[in-house]
Structure formats: structure tokens, C-alpha cells
């Protein structure tokens, strides 16, 4: 499987898994944020610009692993994928990971009185909606609906596994599929 997409909620570990897999597979890692944002987390690219850039890379950098969500703006990318890996962890663990990650990125700027406090509050409120919101925002329901239109296998990895445990799950799955197994087995 030469074209792998890893998706899930913000903070679930899609980028980390992509990076780890790229170390043990011949694939390069691409991240949807690099296409979505013109200036990381501040200015979004126009949709046509995102699609032009990502399609060019997907066509010319194979084999690849694309981590991050493309639902909505990247719906037309579904045919590119040989395998989609869906990650899910309990909300409390995921939100705690996000709090730690955001503090590591921005430090005291996200604390009350900091210049990124309001933006961080908005982001965390949005991230907290994932497990309960409908398809109007990036949510588990939206991801489930999006995956229902896929023609490729979906590997679900659910639970609080370490990055190495996730890598092992993926490698075992790939070996199984290469040996003639089917996703329905």
C-alpha cells in the first residue's frame, strides 16, 4: 500500500504516527496542515491552491503517508488512497494532550492575559466538540460519514496506544494485506 492517509481528531496523533511510519517504511510523510495553511494556524490557503499543491505532491512523491484531516476541502482526494488509518482516543486524554502541546508551542502566551489566550480558548472549545458534534464541524460523525464513501480499506486504531504500539499495528496490518489477506478477514 503506497498511498496511506491517517486521520482523526486534533490531538489524536496523526502527525506523530505518520512521522514514525515514515522512519520504517519507504514512504515520505506529507501533512495536511502544510496544504491547508498559508501561514501556520493563522491564514488559510484558498481551497483551489490547497488542492493544486496537494494533488501535485500526491502524484509525484509516491509512496507517501498523508497525515491530518482533508474532509470537506479534500473530498475529491478519496480515490488517491490505498489505505485510510483512523485514529481515536478518549476525549479526556486527547484534550490533555492538546493542552500540553499548545503550552509547549506557545508557552505563557496561552494563559489568561497572554496574546494567544482567546485564540487558544476558541481552539480548545472547538477540539472538545469532536466526539459530540454533528457534521457541521470536524467531528467523529463527519469523519465516519466521510469514510463511508471510501473505496479503500480502513484500519481503525482506537484507544490510548503508544506511538510504537500504533506503528506495530500498522506494520502487522500491512504484512497481513501483502500476504493475501483481505480487509474483511
| 130 closest CA partner among 93, 76, 169 | 93
User: Cα separation of 36 and 90, whole Å?
Assistant: 26
Which pLDDT score, from 0 to 100, does residue 4 have? 98
DSSP-derived letter for residue 63 is S
DSSP secondary structure letters along 82-104: SEEEEEE--HHHHHHHHHHHHHH
In whole angstroms, how far apart are CA 103 and each of 20, 91, 99, 111? 23, 18, 6, 9
Alpha-carbon span 26 to 63, nearest angstrom: 7
Q: What is the mean pLDDT of residues 21-49?
A: 90
- Mean local confidence (pLDDT), 21-33: 96
| CA dist., res. 9 & res. 13, Å (int) | 8
Residue 76 pLDDT class (50, 70, 90 cuts):
very high
Extended strands (E) in the chain: 3-8, 28-31, 37-39, 43-44, 64-67, 83-88, 154-158
- Please give the Cα distance from 132 to 88 (Å, whole number): 13
With bands split at pLDDT 50, 70 and 90, how would you rate the model's confidence at 183? low
Read off the pLDDT band of 39 (50, 70, 90): confident
Model confidence at 28: pLDDT above 90: yes
For residue 184, the model assigns a pLDDT of 61
Question: Is the pLDDT assigned to residue 107 strictly greater than 80?
Answer: yes
CATH numbers and ranges of domains, the chain: 3-178 (3.40.50.300)
Residue reference for cell 493475501: 180
How many angstroms separate the CA atoms of 50 and 42, rounded? 15
Residue 44's pLDDT band (cuts 50, 70, 90) = confident
Mean pLDDT value across residues 98-109 = 95
**Residue range 125-147, pLDDT digits in tens:** 999 999 999 998 889 999 999 99
Amino acid at each position: 500500500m503506497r498511498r496511506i492517509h491517517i486521520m482523526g481528531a486534533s490531538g489524536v496523533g496523526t502527525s506523530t504516527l505518520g512521522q514514525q511510519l515514515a522512519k520504517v517504511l519507504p514512504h515520505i510523510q506529507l501533512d495536511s496542515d502544510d496544504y491547508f495553511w498559508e501561514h501556520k494556524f493563522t491564514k488559510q490557503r484558498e481551497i483551489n491552491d490547497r488542492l493544486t499543491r496537494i494533488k501535485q505532491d500526491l502524484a509525484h512523491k509516491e509512496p507517501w503517508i498523508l497525515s491530518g484531516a482533508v474532509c470537506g476541502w479534500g473530498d475529491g482526494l478519496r480515490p488517491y488512497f490505498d489505505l485510510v488509518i483512523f485514529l481515536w482516543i478518549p476525549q479526556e486524554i486527547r484534550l490533555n494532550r492538546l493542552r500540553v502541546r499548545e503550552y509547549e508551542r506557545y508557552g505563557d502566551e496561552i494563559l489568561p492575559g497572554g496574546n494567544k489566550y482567546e485564540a487558544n480558548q476558541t481552539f480548545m472549545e472547538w477540539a472538545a466538540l469532536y466526539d459530540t458534534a454533528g457534521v457541521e464541524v470536524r467531528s467523529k460523525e463527519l469523519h465516519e460519514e466521510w469514510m463511508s464513501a471510501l473505496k479503500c480499506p480502513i484500519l481503525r486504531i482506537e484507544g490510548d496506544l503508544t506511538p510504537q504500539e500504533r506503528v506495530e499495528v500498522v506494520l502487522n496490518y500491512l504484512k497481513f494485506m501483502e500476504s493475501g489477506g483481505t480487509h474483511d478477514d
